[in-house]
Chain A
Amino acid sequence: MYKSKPIISLKNVGVSYRRRAGLLRWNKYWALNDISFDLYRGETLGIVGRNGAGKSTLLQVLAGIISPDKGTIENNGCEVSLLSLQVGFLPHITGRENAILSGMLLGIHKPEIEKAMPKIINFSGLGAFIDQPVNSYSTGMKARLGFSVANHMDPDVILVDEVLGVGDTEFKKQSAEAMKEKILSNKTVVIVSHDDKTLKDLCDRILWINANGMCSEGNVDDMLGAYQSSFKKRS
């Protein structure tokens, strides 16, 4: 399966943040230290690690939102996007306008969103509310709209940061199914999750980022086992 050329490859990637250490003094904090791995077309890679290990930072590097401070990332011309809900939502304009704005920020062309609008309205179940300003929505309704828009993005590589299902029971199921369908299709997906079952169901490989910002990778069962036992050792 992994005979083909990787579509993204990271070599010794490190990312540092500048932290204030007093008046006119700063120090560097390395969120990621030495990350190397290859991503292949069509696979689903799971990322695990404790809170603060740098998982979200790694997704930002993959998406090209931030550039690494050391090491290299080689992208063989594919479009990588972070699945983000409610990006750029403005409270005082209608759901329809927000869907277009948010969709454009996610890289979807305006005519495409307009064409997909009936599907977005239908999937979100918002009905006539779509033409009401978003500040009249409940939290759940906003989440429904956000997900329905993001569900229409179609990059080559999709990065998922723990957003599998949102909203009430009904929509959670519906959105999780749509998400799973997307992941299990021949799409390249990188997914950050703390849920063992999700990872076992969806992933082909697991990358574990430890507290020092280093990583190890392997097959799903081995890596999840090792990751879980790292918690037991501590306690």
Chain B
Amino acid sequence: MNRFYFELICYKAMAELKAESSRSYLGFFWWILEPALYMVAFYIVFALVFQRGGAGFIPFLLCGLVVWKWFGSVVSGSANVILSSSALIRQVYIPKYLLPVTVLLNSTMKFLIVMCLFILFLLLYGIVPTVAWLSLPMVIIAQFLFIACVAGFTAAVVPLLPDIKLILDNVLMLLFFISGVFFDISLAPDNVKTYLILNPMAVIIESYRVVLINGVWPDFFALSIILFISVLLLAGTYRIFKYYDRVYPKILI
């Protein structure tokens, strides 16, 4: 990506964030309020209605939700981004991969703010930081690359096969339920667990919890595999974008 395009997407992402926040009365506060409301809803369902968890369930659940929300919002936002920018891409040439990258930057900004608040919450909750917290950036980078490759792939493929969008919503829901957002995968029965840990999001959510809540080092081997596979798939996704770069504007919707 050359410098001009980098400046362009940074400006575009900032402008979109600003536009988004000026659409409501409380503006930027919604970046915090919205995830907070989302978490309260899940807290009501799982802690109060189903009586799950017990001590330490709140940080456990919040951690899963904060991490999942970043993934879910980028993937579902990217699925539509080329079709919803059709007016733009028919008037000027821009490399189309920039569009999901803008969505990614936009959500990452919000995630980082919510993550800081979550860490603040953990400190207030009485959790003492350990040296293992130093591995947090690696967990975040692994997740960033994994999100980039999944979101990039959906952004590239949905305009070509719009039906995927309908499947995607349900796949995301299924993933949400099996990624251990509100239960501990390590407590699942062994025969199920072998399959559950094949899901990168389960590994990522587990890593955040191990680092931030338990204060021990994450499974570096599993994270490295996620990093490695994500980079490989990103390269593949980039090729799809290159191949269809000047075809997307022709797609009639």
**Which A residues are within 8 Å of any B CB, using their own CB?**
15, 17-19, 60, 63-67, 81-82, 84, 87-88, 90-93, 97, 100-101, 104-107, 109-110, 133
Shortest beta-carbon contacts, A-B, top 3: A92-B19, A84-B91, A67-B246
16 contacts between A and B (CB under 8 A): A15-B250, A17-B252, A18-B250, A60-B249, A63-B92, A66-B246, A90-B19, A92-B18, A92-B22, A92-B23, A93-B15, A93-B19, A97-B15, A97-B18, A105-B92, A110-B7
Contact A64 B252 (CB under 8 A): no
Q: Could you say which of B18, B91, B246, B252 has the most chain A C-beta atoms within 10 Å of its C-beta?
A: B91
B248: nearest chain-A partner, CB-CB = A66
**Total residue contacts A-B, CB cutoff 8 A:** 70
With A17-B250, A67-B246 known to touch, is A84 a contact of B92 (CB < 8 Å)?
Answer: yes
| Docked pose: A105 CA to B88 CA in angstroms | 9
Contacts of A88 in B (CB 8 A): 12, 88
Contact B4 A64 (CB under 8 A): no
Contact B11 A100 (CB under 8 A): yes
Contacts of B26 in A (CB 8 A): none
Interface size class, chain B: 20 to 34
Contact B4 A65 (CB under 8 A): no
Contacts of B94 in A (CB 8 A): 105
Contact B92 A82 (CB under 8 A): yes
Contact B22 A64 (CB under 8 A): no
Could you tell me the distance in whole angstroms from the C-beta of B12 to the nearest C-beta in chain A?
6
Q: Which of B12, B18, B23, B92 contacts A65 (CB 8 A)?
A: B92
**Which B residues are within 8 Å of any A CB, using their own CB?**
4, 7-8, 11-12, 15-16, 18-20, 22-23, 88-94, 246-247, 249-252
Contacts of A107 in B (CB 8 A): 92
| Docked pose: A139 CA to B247 CA in angstroms | 32
| Docked pose: A205 CA to B33 CA in angstroms | 61
| Docked pose: A13 CA to B22 CA in angstroms | 46
A90: nearest chain-B partner, CB-CB = B19
Contact A65 B89 (CB under 8 A): yes
Contacts of B252 in A (CB 8 A): 17-19
With A17-B252, A92-B23 known to touch, is A101 a contact of B247 (CB < 8 Å)?
Answer: no
Q: A92-B22, A104-B4, A105-B92 are in contact. List 18 more A-B contacts (CB 8 A).
A: A17-B250, A17-B252, A65-B91, A65-B93, A66-B246, A66-B250, A82-B92, A84-B91, A88-B12, A88-B88, A91-B19, A92-B20, A92-B23, A93-B18, A101-B12, A101-B15, A104-B8, A106-B92
Contacts of B19 in A (CB 8 A): 90-93
Contacts of A90 in B (CB 8 A): 15-16, 19
Could you tell me the distance in whole angstroms from the C-beta of A111 to the nearest C-beta in chain B?
10
Q: Which of B18, B246, B247 contacts A64 (CB 8 A)?
A: B246
| Docked pose: A133 CA to B18 CA in angstroms | 11
Contact B247 A66 (CB under 8 A): yes
Contacts of A97 in B (CB 8 A): 15, 18
